[in-house]
Structure 1
């Protein structure tokens, strides 16, 4: 019984990878931000790096988080990816 529950949990967890959008567009008044989700999955490898509370929409995600420890902070830490306004925001 424990094996069945464990395999179901693993299946549900992995299903998130299969159904995740390849690219997400965040609307912004200074230019939309195209977020290549699939590329980030492959580069980061650990979903919990961004999805701390589990797979799905990131709680509290918005301008403040993206410009601080979220997107920009991760790019600076990894020394990879855009960190300037116009590199993310495209009109």
Structure 2
């Protein structure tokens, strides 16, 4: 029974990753932000790096969340954009 549950969970996880959009675009006043979701999946290695509960919509996602979490991760890893104009494109 445990093997069946594990197999179902793995199948759901793999399906979610396979169906994820390549690039997401978020509208913003100072220029839209394009987010390479698939690229981030490969770099992060775990959905939980951004999705605390489970893959899907991030609870509380918005400007403040992105500025803290995304920018914070980029600063910590010394990779990726950290300045406004590097994410926000008009």
Measured against the shorter chain, the TM-score band is over 0.9
Shift of 1:2: 2.5
- 5+ long unaligned stretches in structure 2: none
Q: Equivalents in 1 of 2:8, 2:44: separation in Å?
A: 25
- 5+ long unaligned stretches in structure 1: none
Aligned residues: 90
Shift of 1:3: 1.8
- Structure 1 segments of 4 or more deviating over 4 A? none
Q: In terms of mean alpha carbon deviation, does 2-11 or 72-81 score higher?
A: 2-11
Secondary structure, counterpart of 1:29 in structure 2: coil
TM-score (norm 2): 0.96
RMSD of aligned Cα (Å): 0.8
- 2:27 equivalent to 1:27: yes
Secondary structure, counterpart of 1:51 in structure 2: coil
TM-score (norm 1): 0.95
- 2:74 equivalent to 1:75: yes
Q: In terms of mean alpha carbon deviation, does 3-12 or 73-82 score higher?
A: 3-12
Kindly provide the CA deviation profile for residues 61-84 of structure 1, in whole angstroms up to 9, marking residues without a partner as x. 10001111x110000010000000
Kindly provide the CA deviation profile for residues 29-62 of structure 1, in whole angstroms up to 9, marking residues without a partner as x. 1100000000101111111010111110111010
